């Protein structure tokens, strides 16, 4: 634009020079009218040149303003890009369900599991009980969320919807600082390897009999866990299950201690643990009762049962546990003793439970382990990728003895085998068989408490 105007001014000046040249060359006198006309033309040319100069100034000023505006805009864009570069976008991973991780340590993950069981319990024909024969149930249907927060905090909330009822299972807040973890809320106390390992990852459809008979369950409390090297120390103070709050059975208080050594020798993971527990049953408890189902949950039949034991004041129990994982092979064993403390000079019975199991993968897989607990199997050759999934066989001997100090609740000796197929991560199919020997059972068969029961059961499971 500027160069064009300069050319225009030059053209006008040239035109004026050409117009004046003949008059100068002729040097002849001109009339007043001619002089006035020539002066008028010169004045017009001067005005046009002035206008062109003004327009040129406006163009130069506009160019400077445009350059300044462009520079300011560029600075704003650069600042915005720098701010965006500093912000980390949310990352979405996959652990059976989406896991969202945001800036500053925030994370969020939906959780859930569906465990559906079916099977049959066969007892002597002389026993007539509605819990015998074929049955099925949705053993667990859970939904929840878990995640982390800035500052080392975390959370978990999960509820179970099985049996058309809503039961809060986990509801707690955690704080992690190095090897220390503090947990506040409804969560598992520290009672045994079998109990602390998730039901998603057990070798059999149900845990060892003593865990249920002795009332192991999540409770409301505060606990601390400290891990250093191959050692793990856990302690907590607990009251009742959150579902019992507001009832007459919510004034108990207990203390739990557990220590675990988990050294690894090459590829062999070992586990050695011990636990101690004390629970004041509270003023509302006037009796204790211990009983157990026949290795499955879909029946309400309890072949061994102490009945109510009066004047119960507290429980004291302790357990020992050991395990190892060596490639495809694993083994585990636990023992647990529970003493019921009664008021006055009444007898204090001590009951016993324990189990030992071994398992072997037919495929190139191994049982998982982390922080003193068995964990899920990571399938090496899943179905869909040309593999067969993970195939595992297990055997277990499980004993529960509820006979002591004059109380005859019976003994249960279960000989079990299971086959587990994990086609892909987070999906499992289980098939189990149990041959159970009863002695002094609470339910009599033809007048005798000594007999056998056979249990066949299967499970479909998905978890995330």
Report the pLDDT value the prediction gives residue 11, as an integer from 0 to 100.
44
Which is it for strands 219-228 and 153-160: parallel, antiparallel or unpaired?
unpaired
User: pLDDT digits over 187-198, tens only?
Assistant: 999 989 999 999
- As a 3-state breakdown, the chain gives helix, strand, coil percent values, each rounded to 5, of 20, 50, 30
Contacts 24+ apart (CB under 8 A), 367-371: 367/325, 367/330, 367/392, 368/201, 369/262, 369/269, 369/271, 369/323, 369/325, 371/227, 371/232
448, β-bridge pairs: 445
Give the separation between CA 28 and CA 22, rounded to whole angstroms: 10
Q: Would you call 2 helix, strand, or coil by DSSP?
A: helix
- The CA–CA distances, whole Å, from 401 to 19, 81, 172, 240, 310 equal 131, 70, 34, 25, 19
Total-model pTM: 0.80
Mention every residue, 6+ apart, whose C-beta is less than 8 A from residue 68. Answer: none
Domain ranges of the chain: 2-86, 114-139+190-227+237-463
CATH of 114-139+190-227+237-463, one of 2.40.160.10, 2.60.40.650, 3.30.1180.10, 3.90.550.10: 2.40.160.10
- Cβ atoms of 392 and 359 within 8 Å: the answer is yes
Report the pLDDT value the prediction gives residue 91, as an integer from 0 to 100.
87
Report the pLDDT value the prediction gives residue 182, as an integer from 0 to 100.
98
Report the pLDDT value the prediction gives residue 20, as an integer from 0 to 100.
42
Q: Which residues of the chain have pLDDT under 50?
A: 1-2, 5-27
Give the separation between CA 247 and CA 355, rounded to whole angstroms: 34
Give the separation between CA 345 and CA 369, rounded to whole angstroms: 45
């Amino acid at each position: 634009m500027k160069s064009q105007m300069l050319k225009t001014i030059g053209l006008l000046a040239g035109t004026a020079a050409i117009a004046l040249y003949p008059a100068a060359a002729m040097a002849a006198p001109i009339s007043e009218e001619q002089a006035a006309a020539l002066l008028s033309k010169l004045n017009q040319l001067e005005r046009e040149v002035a206008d062109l100069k003004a327009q040129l100034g406006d163009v130069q000023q506009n160019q400077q303003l445009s350059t300044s505006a462009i520079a300011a805009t560029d600075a704003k864009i650069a600042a915005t890009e720098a701010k965006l570069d500093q912000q980390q976008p949310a990352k979405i991973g996959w652990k059976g369900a989406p896991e969202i991780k945001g800036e500053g340590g925030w994370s969020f993950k939906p959780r859930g599991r569906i465990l559906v069981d079916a099977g049959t319990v066969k007892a002597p024909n002389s026993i007539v009980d509605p819990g015998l024969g074929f049955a099925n149930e949705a053993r667990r249907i859970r939904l929840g969320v878990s995640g982390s927060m800035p500052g080392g905090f975390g959370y978990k909330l999960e509820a179970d919807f099985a049996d058309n009822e809503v039961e809060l299972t986990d509801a707690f807040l955690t704080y992690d600082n190095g090897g220390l973890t503090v947990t506040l809320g409804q969560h598992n106390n520290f009672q045994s390897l079998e109990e602390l390992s998730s039901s998603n990852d057990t070798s059999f459809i149900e845990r060892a009999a003593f865990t249920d008979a002795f009332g192991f369950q999540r409770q409301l409390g505060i606990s601390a866990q400290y891990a250093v090297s191959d050692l793990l120390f856990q302690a907590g103070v607990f009251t009742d299950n959150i579902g019992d709050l507001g009832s007459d059975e919510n004034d108990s208080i207990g203390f739990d201690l557990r220590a675990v050594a988990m050294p690894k020798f090459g590829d062999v993971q070992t586990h050695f643990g011990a636990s101690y527990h004390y629970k004041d049953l509270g003023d509302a408890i006037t009796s204790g009762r211990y009983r157990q189902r026949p290795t499955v949950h879909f029946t309400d039949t309890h072949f061994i049962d102490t009945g109510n034991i009066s004047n119960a004041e507290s429980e004291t129990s302790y357990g020992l546990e050991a395990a190892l994982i060596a490639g495809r092979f694993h083994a585990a064993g636990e023992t647990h003793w529970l003493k019921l403390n009664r008021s006055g000079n009444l007898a204090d019975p001590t009951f016993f439970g324990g189990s030992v199991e071994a398992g072997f993968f037919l495929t190139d897989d191994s049982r998982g382990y982390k922080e003193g607990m068995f964990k899920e199997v990571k399938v090496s050759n899943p179905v869909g990728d040309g593999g067969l999934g993970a195939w595992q066989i297990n055997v277990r001997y499980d004993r529960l003895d509820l006979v002591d100090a004059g109380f005859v609740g019976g003994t249960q000796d279960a000989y079990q085998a299971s086959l587990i197929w994990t086609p892909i991560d987070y999906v499992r199919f289980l098939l189990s068989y149990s041959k159970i020997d009863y002695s002094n059972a609470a339910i009599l068969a033809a007048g005798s408490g000594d007999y056998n029961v056979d249990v066949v059961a299967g499970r479909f499971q998905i978890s995330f």
